[in-house]
Amino acid sequence: MTQERIIKIEAYYRDPGLLERIAANFRRFWLDIGWMNMETGENGKCTIYMSIYDRSKLGNLDLSIITLSKMIDIDFVEELEGARYNKFEIEYNKSKKYEWGVVSE
């Protein structure tokens, strides 16, 4: 059984490379990302919530969190215990479907 850990990251958002660097940090240690959610705030500060799995059971999860906390633009990384995640409910009136370059409505 794999354990899911939910972490909270406070960072400064300057460019989309921030999310790529965060994801690459976990993939470098052979960890899986279940989902990622980013909320932007004032002055370029953002909060990122992530679900991380250690499916290979190599024990690299703690090391990857510590490494992430030392990265540029990261204020702090917080591991949330007993957290629950409810998927977003999205309401929409119309949608466009993109499938192999063909747009259908």
pLDDT digits (tens, 9 = 90+) for 37-55: 888 888 889 999 888 888 7
pLDDT of 61: 83
Mean pLDDT of the chain: 80
Residues 16/22, Cβ–Cβ less than 8 Å:
no
Q: Is residue 9 a contact partner of residue 69, using CB atoms and an 8 Å limit? A: no
Q: Which residue has the higher pLDDT, 98 or 60?
A: 60
* Statement: residue 100 has pLDDT above 60: yes
The strand ranges marked E within the chain are 4-12, 32-40, 45-53, 74-80, 97-99, 102-104
As a whole number of angstroms, the distance between CA 88 and CA 92 comes to 13
**Separation of CA 103 from chain center:** 29
